[in-house]
């Protein structure tokens, strides 16, 4: 469990650095390594729970989020751009849970050659063309931060990975080798969730995960193919004797995306097949069944400084009959087809110092929804503040609705330097 500096990171870093030394010509004139540029921000974020909710004694009830963080960001390079490096470290004081921690968000080194690049270390990787729905982006995410209204960058967790990008003439090829990192899911320290709390030991997978992305321009369209040999990042729990045991089942994903101009807007299409390796027959109720996921999205400007984006998304559960047959009594049944529609409306005012935004998920098949209205104002280049809300509506058994006791209003203030 305690693999803060995995072997991929250390070895690849050393390898990349050793490789770069003595390589480039013209390094004699300029100092080989630049002085790093240091930037960062101070940020305060708080979210207050709405509604009179009875919380468990161990749950941060009124203020599930109340944190202050200092982010320090250093980046630089050397040898005429052949080498690069970046680090982003958060010093976090979490007043809601009374904890402090150092969070290494990113820490990587780059080697840039003519026909390929290598990035090794903790890094954020984003794939796919969907907006806040994920098909081929199987990389780790932090849903706790997302439902708490933290800035969007906190939805993405870094992967401890070596990423190789090749640039042959016919396409861009990206190969990612990564250690497993789980998603951070809403837990009972901050969230009110139905059912009983379960204490389970979790076995994290060892061994490298592999991702491959091949992309190219097809006329005015961006096309990409994706392959992932990975694991589900949410644990599958099963009862073992009197206790519970959890693991992260194997997942293979294969998919494609396409985005390009349509009319005066942008059309995005994405599809993926999730092969649930450990439950191919679909009769293990603890493990997700295989799925096909499809998405179509369209975004366009609808007025001055105003953009509207809509998406339609379907998740088709395979072997639904086997799932139904083996579902333990008392569990609410999921539909074979789960449909979700989303809407994003963004408007800038006052020379783009004020951004008004609404993001809405509508669970068409499950009859629930999730609304995120927000307003962000830039007081200056350095200081912005945002107020917003996370509002869950509808059926409590839906995937959004299950968080129904966690409506909140939030406020973020950030001073960047």
Partner 1 sequence: MKFLSSFLALTLAFVSAASVQAQPSADDIIARSLETFYYAGDDQRTRATMRLVNPQGKERRRVMTLLRKDLGGEGEQRYYIYFHEPADVKGTTFMVWKYPAREDDRWIFIPAIKLVRRIAADDKRSSFVGSDFTYEDVSGREVGDESHSLLDETDLDGRPVYRIESVPKAKVDYVRRLSWIDRERWVPLKEEYYDGRGELLRTFTADAVREVDGHWTVTQRTMRDAQSGHHTEVVYDEVGYGIGLEADLFSERYLQRPPRQWIR
The nearest distance, CB 417 to partner 1, in angstroms, is 6
Nearer to partner 1, 259 or 390 (CB): 259
User: What does the CA dihedral 161, 232, 398, 54 come to, rounded to 10 degrees?
Assistant: -70
Strands 354-363 and 383-394, sheet pairing: unpaired
Contact, 252 vs 278, CB < 8 A? no
Alpha-carbon radius of gyration of the chain: 23
Structure tokens of 177?
């080798």
Nearer to partner 1, 196 or 380 (CB): 380
The nearest distance, CB 81 to partner 1, in angstroms, is 3
Dist CA 200 CA 246 (whole Å): 6
The nearest distance, CB 54 to partner 1, in angstroms, is 36
Nearer to partner 1, 84 or 247 (CB): 84
Dist CA 345 CA 319 (whole Å): 37
Nearer to partner 1, 78 or 401 (CB): 78
Nearer to partner 1, 126 or 199 (CB): 126
Nearer to partner 1, 21 or 321 (CB): 21
The nearest distance, CB 65 to partner 1, in angstroms, is 19
The nearest distance, CB 96 to partner 1, in angstroms, is 23
Residue 283, phi-psi category: left (phi > 0), alpha (psi -120 to 50), beta (remainder): alpha
Chain residues that interact with partner 1, rule: CB under 8 A: 39-41, 77, 80-81, 84, 110, 112, 117, 123-126, 129, 151-153, 155-156, 165, 167, 172, 215, 220, 222, 259-261, 264-266, 268, 299-301, 304-305, 307, 348, 351-353, 378, 380-382, 384, 414, 416-417
Dist CA 79 CA 27 (whole Å): 6
The nearest distance, CB 298 to partner 1, in angstroms, is 9
Contact, 171 vs 214, CB < 8 A? yes
Nearer to partner 1, 194 or 261 (CB): 261
Q: Which CA distances in Å does 260 have to 306, 309, 410?
A: 20, 14, 35
User: Which neighbouring-strand residues pair with 193?
Assistant: none
Dist CA 99 CA 29 (whole Å): 49
Nearest Cα to Cα of residue 89 among 101, 81, 76 = 101
The nearest distance, CB 41 to partner 1, in angstroms, is 7
């Amino acid at each position: 469990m305690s693999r803060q500096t995995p072997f991929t990171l250390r070895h690849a870093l050393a390898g990349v650095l050793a490789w770069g030394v003595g390589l480039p010509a013209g390094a004699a004139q300029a100092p080989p390594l630049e002085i790093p540029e240091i930037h960062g921000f101070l940020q305060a974020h708080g979210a207050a729970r709405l509604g009179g909710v009875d919380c468990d004694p161990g749950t941060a009830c009124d203020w599930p989020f109340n944190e202050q963080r200092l982010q320090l960001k250093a980046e630089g390079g050397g040898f005429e751009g052949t080498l690069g490096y970046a680090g982003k470290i958060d010093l976090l004081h979490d007043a809601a849970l009374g904890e402090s921690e150092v969070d290494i968000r990113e820490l990587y080194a780059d080697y840039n050659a003519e026909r390929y690049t290598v990035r090794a270390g903790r890094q954020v990787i984003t794939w796919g063309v969907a907006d806040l729905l994920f098909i081929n982006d199987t990389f780790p995410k932090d849903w706790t931060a997302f439902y708490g209204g933290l800035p969007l960058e906190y939805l993405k967790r870094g992967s401890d990975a070596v990423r190789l990008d090749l640039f042959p003439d016919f396409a861009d090829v990206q190969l990612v080798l990564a250690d497993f990192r789980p998603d951070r899911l809403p837990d009972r320290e901050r969230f009110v969730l139905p059912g009983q709390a379960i204490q389970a030991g979790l076995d994290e997978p060892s061994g490298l995960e592999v991702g491959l992305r091949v992309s190219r321009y097809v006329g005015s369209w961006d096309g990409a193919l994706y392959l992932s040999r990975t694991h589900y990042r949410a644990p599958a729990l099963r009862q073992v004797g009197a206790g519970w045991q959890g693991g992260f089942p194997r997942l293979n994903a294969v998919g494609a995306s396409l985005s390009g101009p349509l009319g005066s807007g942008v059309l995005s299409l994405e599809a993926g097949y999730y092969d649930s390796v450990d439950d191919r027959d679909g009769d293990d109720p603890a493990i997700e069944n295989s799925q096909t996921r499809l998405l179509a999205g369209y975004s366009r400007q609808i007025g001055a400084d105003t953009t509207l984006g809509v998406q339609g998304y379907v998740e088709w559960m395979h072997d639904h009959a086997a799932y139904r047959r083996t579902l333990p009594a008392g569990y609410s049944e999921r539909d074979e087809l789960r449909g979700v529609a989303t809407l994003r409306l963004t408007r800038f005012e006052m020379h783009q110092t004020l951004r008004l935004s609404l993001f809405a998920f509508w669970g068409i098949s499950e009859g629930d929804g999730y609304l995120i209205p927000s307003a962000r104002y830039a007081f200056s280049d350095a200081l912005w503040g945002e107020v917003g809300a996370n509002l869950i509506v509808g059926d409590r058994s839906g995937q959004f609705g299950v968080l129904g006791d966690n409506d909140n209003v939030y406020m973020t203030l950030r001073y960047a330097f």
